[in-house]
Amino acid sequence: MPNNFAFVDSQNVNLGVRGDGWRIDWKKFRAYLKTEYDVTKAYLFLGFIPEYTSLYNNLQDAGFTLIFKTVTYQAGKPKGNVDAELVLQAMIDYPKYDRALIGTSDGDFACLVRYLEEQKKLLRVLSPNRDGCSALLKRASKGLIAFLDDVRGKIEYIK
């Protein structure tokens, strides 16, 4: 059985699907990663805000491993850029996984995606949507890209 890891920029994915007018059900999403992509370990990278502790507990209960970035505030809004943490973790774990799934639409990850693709270690880039996905990321993935809006019915949060 494949041993694939997922590295997900949670804010990018969350804002991407919300921009399309829907919410992701993180428990369904984790199950989808397991069944569709044989993901044995799924990281979520996010900024830490103390009042969201119950959300973090729910994400861990859904099966995600959380990697936190200290949040700073710009113009009163929280900012927790996780790019470096995601790339570093993907490289720390490089010998431990067969292939990696990168969850983002951010072109800053194009270099990581390109490297993983060249090493035959890229499973897929999973972007929230086509329109918001960086052209750099699309090119770097060499066709190994999928979009969450295509599987919305499987992973959407329904009240």
Angle 133-129-36 from CA coordinates, rounded to 5°: 110
What does the block give as tokens for 35? Answer: 């069944």
Which of 51-60, 64-73, 88-97, 99-108 shows the lowest mean pLDDT across its residues? 64-73
What residues does 42 pair with on adjacent strands? 6, 64
What does the block give as tokens for 117? Answer: 């693709």
pTM: 0.95
Report all structural domains of the chain as residue ranges with CATH numbers, in order of start: 4-155 (3.40.50.1010)
Burial class (CB in 10 A: 0-12, 13-18, 19+), 84: exposed
Judged against a pLDDT cut of 90, whether residue 70 lies above it is answered with no
